[in-house]
């Protein structure tokens, strides 16, 4: 009785057993297979009992089929050990395995299509490109198309024509992300109004595995400064926030329609390199708009560094999260603070650079006077809430790179360009 160890398990098969008994052995719970007989040896089950080549032996064919079944469930090491017993057979199997691995790589190729490649999506595109993703998406001008193409991205105009190359890239995508807000003449989400059918078709082809939509914490409305999480019932009052909530629901319905996982990301105020309180202070030489003044009336403002947005999106796009069919995530840092506090910290940092004192004092005076505006003074309601980020930490295992505006602004001040480097 021969014995051969595969993967550390043991299964003994007597070569004197007829093929039917061999099949019953192979279907048992044991998992180690005996080696084949020598190249020229009496082979049972051969009919006449004469000498036969191993490849003609029915028992060996049973063993080969069993090894193939092990291969399908991932026991490559055991397969290679069995193949090592015969160099010719091993060479043939290695060629087949290489072909299957190459096919598997093509099937697992990661392609993302982004609707609206603005500040946040470009940051994400940079991040994914370093991880060998193929990135394509839409923007609104020839200049932006050229700029994105120069960085190695496939860029197209966003338009209602449903033509050509952009749809080809959309159909090839494994992941789709939309950052386009429901604005302008659209009565619903503009991407769904134009490309909903194409998304359904892409899902039907079987490649599309994940859809993401970038929304806003503004959908929560006013909670009088209390904490909210993803289970809190949104109560928006502003038209933009109402439209955002309507768009969220439309995207979640796409999950129901296609069977593809859809994740909604409610982002706080986005800042990062080139778009932060530091830049605002340096530009703040003139009277500000009413909307800017209204923002200064907030006691709490939830914000998030763009690098942390990229981190959250990347983790959500990973395969282990696809099993979550429909999910909403708040994407904010740990420190909801008044805008005036953030601006004061930015001015403190800029004092170190030797910028003229008059410029900083001017911006400080504007921030101080406008930051004291109350709801009654402005004539408009100021929605107040503090937004929890507990879910991204627990479900996506996110550790924020910049948990507070202080660490985020300090990094920008020191020249850290993540994720645009």
Tens digit of each residue's pLDDT (9 = 90 or more) over 23-37: 443 444 444 444 444
Q: What is the pLDDT of residue 235?
A: 95
Q: Are 166 and 201 in contact (CB under 8 A)?
A: no
What confidence category does residue 75 fall into, taking pLDDT thresholds of 50, 70 and 90? Answer: very low
Looking at the predicted structure, is the pLDDT value of residue 104 above 60?
no
Residue 222, pLDDT above cutoff 80: yes
Kind of pairing, strands 154-157 and 134-139?
parallel
CA angle in degrees (0–180, nearest 5) for 57-58-60: 70
What contacts 210, CB < 8 A, 6 or more positions away? 174, 175, 176, 260, 261, 262, 263, 316, 317, 322
Distance of CA 304 to the CA centre of its chain: 17
Mean pLDDT of the chain: 75
pLDDT of residue 205: 92
Average pLDDT over residues 175-180: 96
Q: Residue 300 has what pLDDT?
A: 84
Q: Determine the pLDDT at residue 384.
A: 87
Cα(57)–Cα(19) distance, rounded to whole angstroms?
10
Percentage of residues in the chain having pLDDT higher than 70: 61
pLDDT (mean) for 274-283: 93
Entry pTM: 0.70
Strands 40-42 and 51-53: antiparallel
Q: What span, in angstroms and rounded, lies between the C-alpha atoms of 302 and 58?
A: 70
Whether residue 179 has pLDDT greater than 50: yes
More confident residue, 345 or 47: 345
- Whether the per-residue pLDDT at 387 is higher than 70: the answer is yes
pLDDT at residue 65 above 70? no
Model confidence at 405, pLDDT cuts 50, 70, 90, reads very high
DSSP 8-state assignment for residue 319: G
Give the mean model confidence (pLDDT) for residues 143-167: 81
**Residue 34 per-residue DSSP state:** P
Cα–Cα distance between 303 and 311 in angstroms, integer?
15
Question: pLDDT of 326-355, one tens digit each?
Answer: 999 999 999 999 999 999 999 999 998 877
- For residue 108, pLDDT beyond 80: no
Rounded CA-CA distance 94/265 in Å is: 45
Which token pair is 406?
Answer: 């202080």
Among 32-36, 207-211, 377-381, top mean pLDDT goes to 207-211
Q: What is the pLDDT of residues 233-261, one digit of tens each?
A: 999 999 899 999 999 999 999 999 999 99
CB 199: neighbour CB atoms within 10 A? 24
Of 198-207, 313-322, 382-391, give the lowest mean pLDDT range: 313-322
Q: Is the pLDDT of residue 66 over 50?
A: no
The whole-angstrom separation of Cα 197 and Cα 284 is 45
Where is 113: in which H helix or E strand? strand 111-115
Angle at 125 between CA 332 and CA 400, to 5 degrees: 25
């Amino acid at each position: 009785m021969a014995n051969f160890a595969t993967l550390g398990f043991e299964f003994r098969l007597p070569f004197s057993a007829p093929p039917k008994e061999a099949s019953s052995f192979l279907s048992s719970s044991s998992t180690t297979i005996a080696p084949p007989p020598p190249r020229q040896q009496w082979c049972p089950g051969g009919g006449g009992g004469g000498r036969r080549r191993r490849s003609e032996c029915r028992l060996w064919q049973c063993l080969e089929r069993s090894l193939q079944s092990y291969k399908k469930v991932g026991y490559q090491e055991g397969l290679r050990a069995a193949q090592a017993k015969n160099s010719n057979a091993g060479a043939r199997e290695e060629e087949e395995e290489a072909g299957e691995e190459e096919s598997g790589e093509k099937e697992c190729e990661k392609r993302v299509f982004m609707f609206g490649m603005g500040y946040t999506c470009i940051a994400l595109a940079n991040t994914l490109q370093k991880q060998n993703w193929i990135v394509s998406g839409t923007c609104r001008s020839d200049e932006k198309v050229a700029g994105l193409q120069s960085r190695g991205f496939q860029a197209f105009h966003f338009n209602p024509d449903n033509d050509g190359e952009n749809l080809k890239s959309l159909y090839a995508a494994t992941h789709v992300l939309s950052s386009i807000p429901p604005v302008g003449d659209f009565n619903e989400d503009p991407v769904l109004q134009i490309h909903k059918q194409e998304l359904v078709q892409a899902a039907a082809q079987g490649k599309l595995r994940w859809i993401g939509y970038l929304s806003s914490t503004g959908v929560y409305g006013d909670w009088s400064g209390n904490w909210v999480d993803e289970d809190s019932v949104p109560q928006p009052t502003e038209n933009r926030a109402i439209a955002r909530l309507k768009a969220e629901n439309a995207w979640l319905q796409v999950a129901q329609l296609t069977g593809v996982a859809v994740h909604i990301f409610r982002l706080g105020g986005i800042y990062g390199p080139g778009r932060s309180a530091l830049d605002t202070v340096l530009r703040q030489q003139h009277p500000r708009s009413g909307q800017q003044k209204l923002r200064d009336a907030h006691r709490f403002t939830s914000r998030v560094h763009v690098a942390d947005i990229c981190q959250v999106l990347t983790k959500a796009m990973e395969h282990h999260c696809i099993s979550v069919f429909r999910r909403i995530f708040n994407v904010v840092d740990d420190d909801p603070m008044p805008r005036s506090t953030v601006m004061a910290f930015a001015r403190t940092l800029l004092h170190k650079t030797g910028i003229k004192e008059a410029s900083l004092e001017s911006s400080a005076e504007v921030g101080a006077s406008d930051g004291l505006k109350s709801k009654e003074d402005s004539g408009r309601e100021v929605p107040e809430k503090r937004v929890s980020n507990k879910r991204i930490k627990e479900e996506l295992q996110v550790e924020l790179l910049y948990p507070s505006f202080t660490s985020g602004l300090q990094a920008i001040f020191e020249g850290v360009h993540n994720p645009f480097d």
